[in-house]
């Protein structure tokens, strides 16, 4: 089998680790043989160096320029080149590769993922913030470069698997499933006092800390609504959310004739990552097979938008269009940071985002990357101002 040149952006994260696991497993399965070009990380220098040695990467890059010497030391004698800083991450993403996993967390993933897209290879996209903040620009770059975009977010990967392009004109709606997170059955009062430790205790998925908190607030689902809208070219009213506590149905597609197609699997990101690795073929993956008799039941319920206002905010941002998605994501990242630092309460996150969006509206179209970065910065600053004004008592 032919070698395939591979880069993993965010190799030290949760998705990164699962991706390396898929690449490890792929070595002898008859499919393409991974040949690692670049691995990138941020704070976890030891993990980055260990992975770069194991996969004999050409290049390992940390986003943190202050950690360069440490990374270089950790790679001494390995033959792996070391680099550091945000620009070096973008340069790593721009090195010729056939398949790139985009799994940096947050808006920091935008520039590197665009650089990967510009090469015209395959972009396996975990970083949803790219589509939320700069959906039109990102998709235009994918089209311009002739790149292939494969969604890795499990819901979007599920839709990608079951959405037949020939039947696209008859698409009625997509139904994003949501586990409901650890606070699914909590009262608003209890949620207002939730701690970081409680928020990261996700019932089904083992994920990075920030996306785990976003799952608890359903801001993750809010981002995914906007992500789906861009990926599949939908009207805001065609994007539905359904709470499904078992996380076995990864999402569904509804057609004009009333048929609904679903993709099911164990809640393990290696499904979606492995699918993106093997696409358009399918190969055995190191994941659990579903045992339906043992599952015995699957539950579905409507989301509660009073306790989870993030879903309404996403719909409003989709209606507003333009840079609203970018503002929502940036305000959410600022509010998330404030919650993680115990500067605001759990339910304050949605209040901060809502107040920030109200102050920045109306939203211009996302004309270029400069406009996106300017809005990202403005929304973070505005969110911090809202936090300082409304939540001084907590600080
Ligand atoms: P993690 O927090 O586990 O990992 C994030 C990765 O990004 C790490 O490699 C981290 O490096 C790196 N990183 C952090 N900050 C920066 C920065 N400023 N510049 C460059 N790199 C940076 O996140 P996840 O793996 O959970 O999520 C990654 C992306 O995938 C997110 O966009 C998330 O929404 C999406 N996603 C994740 C899912 C999951 O199950 N985890 C499911 C669906 C989507 P280091 O660790 O060395 O500091
Ligand atoms: Mg998801």
Evaluate if residue 391 carries a pLDDT over 80: no
State the pTM of this model.
Answer: 0.96
**Strand 33-41 to 3-9 pairing:** parallel
**pLDDT per residue as tens digits for the range 309-338:** 999 999 999 999 999 999 999 999 999 999
Ligand nearest to the CA of 251: 2
Report, as an integer, the average pLDDT of 201-224.
Answer: 92
**Strand 249-255 to 171-178 pairing:** antiparallel
Report, as an integer, the average pLDDT of 90-113.
Answer: 97
Task: Give the pLDDT of residue 309.
Answer: 98
Ligand 1 centroid – CA 20 distance (Å):
14
Report, as an integer, the average pLDDT of 202-212.
Answer: 86
Report, as an integer, the average pLDDT of 212-226.
Answer: 97
Task: Give the pLDDT of residue 29.
Answer: 85
In this structure, the number of other CB atoms found within 10 A of the CB of residue 240 comes to 17
Task: Give the pLDDT of residue 27.
Answer: 79
Best substitution site from 103, 130, 215, 273 to test ligand 1's pocket, by max atoms within 8 Å of Cβ?
103
Q: Among candidates 243, 292, 245, which has minimal Cα distance to 265?
A: 292
Evaluate if residue 30 carries a pLDDT over 90: no
Task: Give the pLDDT of residue 394.
Answer: 53
Model confidence at 268, in pLDDT bands (50, 70, 90)? very high
Task: Give the pLDDT of residue 395.
Answer: 45
Name 66's Cβ contacts closer than 8 Å, sequence gap at least 6: 84
Report, as an integer, the average pLDDT of 353-370.
Answer: 96
Evaluate if residue 1 carries a pLDDT over 50: yes
Evaluate if residue 154 carries a pLDDT over 60: yes
**pLDDT per residue as tens digits for the range 378-390:** 999 999 999 999 8
Query: Which residues have a beta carbon within 5 Å of ligand 2, which is an ion?
Result: 153-155
- Among residues of the chain, what percentage have pLDDT more than 70? 99
Name 58's Cβ contacts closer than 8 Å, sequence gap at least 6: 36, 37, 38, 80, 81, 95
- SS3 of 63-114: CCHHHHHHHHHHCCCCCCEEEECHHHHHHHHHCCCCEEEECCCCHHHHHHHH
Task: Give the pLDDT of residue 392.
Answer: 60
DSSP secondary structure, 224-237, as one string? HHHHHHHHHT--GG
Annotation: binding site: 12-15, 44, 127-129, 153-155, 179, 202, 208, 215, 220-221, 224
The CA distance from 123 to 103, in Å, is 10
Pocket of ligand 1 (CB under 6 A): 10-16, 41-44, 63, 89, 103-105, 108, 126-129, 153, 205, 207-208, 210-211, 269
Model confidence at 222, in pLDDT bands (50, 70, 90)? very high
ipTM over 0.85: yes
Report, as an integer, the average pLDDT of 32-53.
Answer: 98
The CA distance from 104 to 197, in Å, is 23
Task: Give the pLDDT of residue 388.
Answer: 95
Model confidence at 28, in pLDDT bands (50, 70, 90)? confident
Model confidence at 2, in pLDDT bands (50, 70, 90)? confident
Ramachandran area for residue 218 (φ above 0: left; ψ -120 to 50: alpha; else beta): left
Annotation: binding site for 1-deoxy-D-xylulose 5-phosphate: 128, 154-155, 179, 202, 215, 220-221, 224
Report, as an integer, the average pLDDT of 181-197.
Answer: 97
Half-sphere exposure in the Cβ direction for 336 (13 Å, CA): 23
Evaluate if residue 131 carries a pLDDT over 90: yes
Q: Helix, strand or coil for residue 149?
A: strand
């Amino acid at each position: 089998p032919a070698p395939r040149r591979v880069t993993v952006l965010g190799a030290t994260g949760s998705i990164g680790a699962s991706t390396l696991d898929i690449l490890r497993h792929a070595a002898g399965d008859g499919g393409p043989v991974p040949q690692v070009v670049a691995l990138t990380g941020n704070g976890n220098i030891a993990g980055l160096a260990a992975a770069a040695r194991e996969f004999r990467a050409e290049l390992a890059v940390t986003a943190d320029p202050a950690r360069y010497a440490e990374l270089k030391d950790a790679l001494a004698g390995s033959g792996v080149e070391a680099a550091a800083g945000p620009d070096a991450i973008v340069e790593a993403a721009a090195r010729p590769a056939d398949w790139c996993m985009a799994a940096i967390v947050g808006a920091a993933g935008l520039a590197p993922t665009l650089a990967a897209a510009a090469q015209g290879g395959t972009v396996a996209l975990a970083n949803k913030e790219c589509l939320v903040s700069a959906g039109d620009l990102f998709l235009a770059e994918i089209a311009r470069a002739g790149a292939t975009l494969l969604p890795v977010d499990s819901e979007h990967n599920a839709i990608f698997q079951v959405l037949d392009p020939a039947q696209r004109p008859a698409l009625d709606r997509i139904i994003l499933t949501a586990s409901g997170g650890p606070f699914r059955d909590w009262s608003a009062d209890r949620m207002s006092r939730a701690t970081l430790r409680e928020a990261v205790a996700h019932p089904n998925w083992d994920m990075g800390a920030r996306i785990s908190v976003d799952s608890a607030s359903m801001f993750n689902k809010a981002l995914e609504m906007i992500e789906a809208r861009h990926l599949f070219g939908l009207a805001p009213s065609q994007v539905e959310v359904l709470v499904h506590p078992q996380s076995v149905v990864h999402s569904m597609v509804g057609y004009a004739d009333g048929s609904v197609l679903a993709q099911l699997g164990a809640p393990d990101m290696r499904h979606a990552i492995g699918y993106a690795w093997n696409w358009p073929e399918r190969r055995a993956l190191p994941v659990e097979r579903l045992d339906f008799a043992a599952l015995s039941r699957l539950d579905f319920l409507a989301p509660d938008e009073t306790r989870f206002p993030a879903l309404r905010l996403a719909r409003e941002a989709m209606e507003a269009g333009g840079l609203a998605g970018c503002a929502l994501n940036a305000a959410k990242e600022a509010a998330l940071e404030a919650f993680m630092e115990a500067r605001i309460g759990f339910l304050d996150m949605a209040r901060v985002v809502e107040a920030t969006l109200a102050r920045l509206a109306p939203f211009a179209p996302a004309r270029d990357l400069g406009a996106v970065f300017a809005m990202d910065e403005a929304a973070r600053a505005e969110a911090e101002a809202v936090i300082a004004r409304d939540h001084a008592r907590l600080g």
